[in-house]
Structures are given as structure tokens and as C-alpha cells.
Amino acid sequence: MPKPKLSKNIDEVCYPFIYEASLRCDYEILTDELCRQVGGILAAMPTEFSGLIEELEALQPKIYHLNGSIRGKCAISEADLDWLRRCYAAHKEATADCLSGFVLPRGESPVPQLNAASSNAKKAIRLMVRLYETEAVEIPDVLHRFCNVLCNYFFILTLVINQSRGLKEIPFVSESYRVRSPKS
């Protein structure tokens, strides 16, 4: 069987790099999915969470900038990272009483979508690691940091929403290993 190649018919091409062997393509598809997930989260977000809606609307284009920042010019700045950290810190402070470790992922929409987005942010980090380790692609440090905060941000939004709905988080204590709190 011949190697797949792009069709000359543009309607048969979903993405110009789709047949590329590089993990860059996988990273871009995953971050594209993440941006689409934010769109779904916005559609599912109740209007009473207007502040979260504003944040997510500001965040969504940054995720598309994250998408192109490895193949192209890095379009995530320290200012973008600082903004996301401030959003995260405000929500972390507001939910400090309901979190003391791992919790079981539960809650009504859009909480499951936020948990899925958090997982995809982790996958994006892992793809950056693999790009560096297997293809020697230099990844701007701000991208790793932004994705780590992004993962934590999506998770903290689940707590914000659950707390406002009166849902008590169910702690999870691992029997596999001891968990240490990271230094602040």
C-alpha cells in the first residue's frame, strides 16, 4: 500500500500536516481538541457563572495560540501566563476550604467537560516532553508552564462550580503511594 498523501482536492484535506510523522501534528490536533472543548464548556456553562464565562472566552484564543506555538512563532507570552495564574489563584483562594488533596471527579455539566479539558492539558504537556525527547524539538519554557497552569485552572473551576452548587467534594486517598503537597 502506498504512503498516504494529501489529496489535490481541498475538500479531501482536513489538515495540511495530517500525514506528517512528527508528534507536532499530534500536539496540534490535541490542542485543537482542547480549544473545541472550551467552546463546549462555554455552551454548557450556566449564565450565573458570568465571571467564568468571561475568563473562558478570553482563554479560548490563547489555546489556539498554544496550538501553533511549536511549529510557528511562540504566541504565548509571560503576560498570558501571568493572567492565567491570577485567574487560577483567585479561584484557588475561593475554594481553599473544600480541597485538601485529591478528590474524586464528580459533578454535573460542565464539570465533566472541565475535567476532560484538564486531562487534555496534561496530554499536551506529555506531547511536548516527547517532542523534545524523541525529536529534539526545542519547546519554549512558557508553553510547559502555561499548560501546567491550564490543567490546574480547569480543575479548580470544577471546584468553583461544585462549591456554588453545594456539592461536597469526596476525598480520594491513594493506597498506592504517599502524596506530598508541592511547595508553593
Quickly state the pLDDT bin for 170 (edges 50, 70, 90): confident
Sort 164 into a burial class: Cβ within 10 Å, 0-12 / 13-18 / 19+. middle
pLDDT at 180 over 80: no
Q: Which amino acid is at 110?
A: P
CA angle, 62 then 68 then 73, to 5°: 100
Q: Are 146 and 66 in contact (CB under 8 A)?
A: yes
Per-residue model confidence as pLDDT tens digits over 34-78: 999 999 999 999 999 999 999 999 999 999 999 999 999 999 999
pTM of this structure: 0.92
Q: Are 31 and 66 in contact (CB under 8 A)?
A: yes
Residues 6+ apart with CB under 8 A from 35: 60, 63, 64, 67
Which residues share a beta bridge with 171?
A: 103
What does the alpha-carbon distance between residue 124 and residue 79 come to, in Å, rounded to a whole number?
20
